[in-house]
A and B are shown apart, each in its own frame.
Chain A
Amino acid sequence: MSQVVIRIPTPLRGYTGGAGEVAVEAATVGEALASLGRRHEGVLERVVDARGEPRQFVNIFVGGRNVRALDGMATPLAEGDVLAIIPAVAGGGA
């Protein structure tokens, strides 16, 4: 298990009591998000689909690399890693 930080985008901060970062202990990306979901109700289903994969238009980065290009939810985490949840852009369109 590694101590990692999950960076929370503005549209999800309503679920984290306004926090922009949440620290969790996890060995993989999937575990880190599950831990976030246990701590903050409602956030997990905004990020992953019913199969447990990142939802469309939601990207999860570890140290600047998209987990879709790594091992997805099984991507291993090292001590001090920073995860970022990046959803689609909202606003400014039509």
Chain B
Amino acid sequence: MERLASTPAAIPPLMAAIGRTPLVELAVIREAAPRTRLFAKLESVNPGGSIKDRPVVRMLREALAKGRLAGGRRVLDSSSGNAGISYAMLGAALGVPVTLVVPGNASAERLDRIRACGAELIVTDPLEGYDFALREAQRLARTHPERYWYCDQYSNPENWRAHYEDTAGELLAQLVPFAGGTPDALIAGVGTGGTLTGVGRRLKEVRPDTHVVAAIPETCPGIEGLKPLGAPEDIVPAILDEALIDDRVTVSLDDAIAMCRRLAAEGLFVGPSSGAFVHVACELAARRRLATVVTVLPDTGERYTSTGMWRVSRDG
């Protein structure tokens, strides 16, 4: 309620509730490197349940300020689910119509929530993968410019700016008591490249030798929300600044899920991309001398119950 009381009347409370997420310390890294401390932003506490609230609220604010949605134009974007939820939630709160192109293999929890918020869903063939949904959104934007404003989280600079100003700004302030505000390394993934580019850029400005690591999933089975960036035909996000990446570390889905289970046993219930980042942090800390490592925990494990990832097999 305190948050609400201090919210300016013009900003819907949902928007004001985004960000300022807790920083949690993960003791799991000490097994790999007893002297390393790992800190992570717990992004599932955002009202949309994921880190995606940050870029989406910023992109929508900018669009509204510039009159992009005048005349009842619909916000259009592609998403593997989490951004779709943020768009649907904020669109409903702001009275802005939203259309999302989502591949049919996005988890059922995501599709249900997007529908519940009243967004229009265009579900593409799951066999064709995420890039097909992205191309379909581009096609719709091209052929119906009067109907849609294409937000395009892959090339909208407000995406990385949200992480540069807010995610990284919060991180630096929260780290002051622990590491003087500057970590040795950042672990992030690449979906749109927004987190890695925004946080990585800010951290390197403060401390140029910050080691920025991209966690790269296997091609199949992949990790929801993360791009393998391996095949030449893969779409590389326009906002991704690859020059910021010092190291690419491959992580398998099995390793990511094993880490999710480890973290759950310590009370932290997070999704596979979080498990992937923490796994990579532990691997990196085992082979490099690092005092402080930071990462993000993009979403909650509850968003994946339908996938069976939490089901304990009968034979252990």
A interface residues, Cβ below 8 angstroms from B: 7-12, 14, 20, 46-47, 55-59, 68, 84-94
Known A-B contacts: A46-B219, A93-B192. Give 11 more (CB < 8 A).
A10-B129, A85-B127, A89-B81, A89-B103, A89-B130, A89-B222, A92-B82, A92-B134, A93-B298, A94-B191, A94-B192
What CA separation (Å) do A68 and B107 show in the bound complex? 16
Contact among B52, B127, B222 with A90 in the assembled complex (CB-CB below 8 Å): B222
At the interface with chain A, which of B31-39, B226-234, B282-290? B226-234
How many angstroms from the CA of A58 to the CA of B223 in the assembled complex?
11
Q: Which residues of A contact B226 (CB under 8 A)?
A: 90-91, 93-94
- Residues in chain B within 8 A of chain A (CB atoms): 51-52, 78-83, 103-107, 126-134, 153, 188-192, 194-196, 217, 219-228, 231, 235, 253-254, 257, 272-273, 296, 298, 307-309
With beta carbons under 8 angstroms apart, the residue of A47, A56, A92 that contacts B307 is A56
- Provide 10 A-B residue pairs closer than 8 Å at the C-beta atoms, listed in order of the A residue: A46-B221, A55-B221, A56-B253, A57-B272, A68-B308, A86-B105, A89-B107, A91-B227, A92-B225, A94-B225
A87 to chain B, nearest CB (A): 5
Question: In the bound complex, what is the Cα–Cα distance between A10 and B52 (angstroms)?
Answer: 25
Alpha-carbon gap, A86 to B127, bound state (A): 6
Chain A residues positioned under 8 Å from B196 (CB to CB): 94
Q: Is the CB of A94 within 8 A of B298?
A: yes
Q: How far is the CB of B57 from chain A (nearest CB, A)?
A: 16
Bound-complex Cα distance A68 to B306 (A) = 12
Q: Please tell me if the beta carbons of B126 and A90 are within 8 angstroms of each other in the complex.
A: no
User: Contacting A87 at CB < 8 Å: which of B52, B105, B194?
Assistant: B105
- Chain B residues within 8 Å of A85, by CB: 127
Q: A11-B220, A56-B308 are in contact. Are A89 and B80 (CB under 8 A)?
A: yes
A14 cross-chain contacts in B, Cβ below 8 A: 219, 231
B225 touches A91 (CB 8 A): yes
> Is A89 a contact partner of B105 (Cβ separation < 8 A)?
yes
Inter-subunit contact A87/B257 (CB<8 Å): no
Contact A10 B224 (CB under 8 A): no
Interfacial chain B residues near A86, Cβ < 8 Å: 104-105, 126-127
Residues of A with C-beta under 8 A to B188: 94
- Residue numbers in A under 8 Å from B307 (CB-CB): 56-57, 88
Pair A88/B223 contact, Cβ less than 8 Å: yes
Return chain A residues, CB-CB under 8 Å to B127.
7-10, 20, 84-86
